[in-house]
Amino acid sequence: MVIASGCVTDQEFLAEHSGAALKFAEVQARIDLDCDRVSGTIVSERIAQRMRWVGREELAEYSIKVAGCGKNATYDIKCLSGSVCSK
């Protein structure tokens, strides 16, 4: 599948947003795990669509495992175009 918003493949779209998704998960894990030294790993990734008033919008979804201070957490992160990410 090629994303309609430009000439970008799914893999390019996922790669473009993976850094922002990792950073978002690691920032959240620092709070949740009460740990300053955390490290995240992308466990899975996929392209999804959500309905908008004016059509569909592509988004990147990641499952990210973060570990630090002997604890770990897994986050499902969604990123829109422009690397805007949320849980």
What pLDDT does 8 receive?
Answer: 77
Q: Give 6 or 60, the one with higher predicted confidence.
A: 60
pTM: 0.83
HSE at residue 60, side-chain half, CA atoms within 13 A, is 28
Q: From CA 52, how far away is CA 24, in angstroms rounded?
A: 24
Tell me the pLDDT tens digit for each residue of 37-87.
Answer: 999 999 999 998 876 666 677 899 999 999 999 999 999 999 988 778 998
Whether the predicted pLDDT of 5 surpasses 80:
no
Burial status of residue 62 (CB atoms within 10 A of its CB: 0-12, 13-18, 19 or more): buried
Tokens representing 5? 């918003």
Tell me the pLDDT tens digit for each residue of 51-63.
Answer: 666 667 789 999 9
Q: Span 26-46, mean pLDDT? A: 97
H-helix or E-strand spanning residue 51 = strand 39-52
Strand, coil or helix: 69: coil
What pLDDT does 17 receive?
Answer: 93
List for the chain the helix, strand, coil content (%; round to 5). Answer: 25, 50, 20
